[in-house]
Amino acid sequence: MDATPWVLAAAVGAGAIGAARVATALTRRHRRRKALDIPASVDDPTRGRPRPWIIMNPSKHEDPQAFKDRINRKAKELGIDHVHWRETTREDPGTGQAVRALEEGASVVIAAGGDGTVRAVAAGMAGSGVRMGIIPVGTGNVLAGNLSVPDDPEEALAVALDRNHRAVDLAWVRVEDIAQESTQPAEGGLR
């Protein structure tokens, strides 16, 4: 029995699978770029109303409901009818909430907390192409400070919903058998 037809069929099949993977990757890349180029905005009628989700760390607020009320009032002033809220927990500091927000159609996901909340939300959004905002209400707020995000929660919300935005790289570091944990972000540069 001649194996040539089977080898040829396997090669064609592998080529088709490879082409499908490339097409899928290019489509995802195009969607991510489009999301970054044309963000949802209050003043952009071609994209509809923004669908903001705020992932809040309740431990950072003396009165979480008062904070929500304040932000909801500001959102209304900015033309946002409804803000979706999710709170972080010890078991899930924001990653799962960010994934659910994306699954439910968020056009912007805003982390309202400190650096830990920001990192967890960013991890859940990695590669999605959906914009992320920060309302810095933590202790350090290193990334928010580096990005010049206002300290005032209402001003930070306005920035998160504004047309102006910038892309920020996200890096992953995996270390096995780490001797000491760090809660501070690492900085570095490439030349």
Grouping H, G, I as helix, E, B as strand and the rest as coil, residue 136 is: strand
pLDDT score for 34: 54
Per-residue pLDDT at 83 exceeds 90: yes
CA distance 127 to 105: 15
Residue type for position 3: A
DSSP structure class, residue 88? -
- In whole numbers, what is the pLDDT of the chain averaged over residues? 83
Overall average pLDDT of the 66-89 stretch: 96
CA distance 147 to 119: 14
* pLDDT, tens only, 128-181: 889 999 999 988 899 999 999 999 999 999 999 987 778 888 777 777 776 655
CA distance 85 to 107: 14
Domains of the chain by start residue, with CATH = 45-161 (3.40.50.10330)
pTM of the model: 0.70
Backbone phi and psi for residue 150, each to the nearest 5 degrees, phi listed first: -60, 145
CA distance 179 to 3: 55
CA distance 25 to 32: 11
Backbone phi and psi for residue 128, each to the nearest 5 degrees, phi listed first: -80, -25
pLDDT score for 139: 84
Lowest mean per-residue pLDDT among 42-51, 71-80, 83-92? 42-51
CA distance 150 to 163: 16
Residue 36: other Cβ atoms inside 10 A:
14
Overall average pLDDT of the 38-66 stretch: 74
Residues 79 and 159 sit within 8 Å (Cβ to Cβ) = no
What percent of the chain is modeled with pLDDT above 70?
Answer: 80
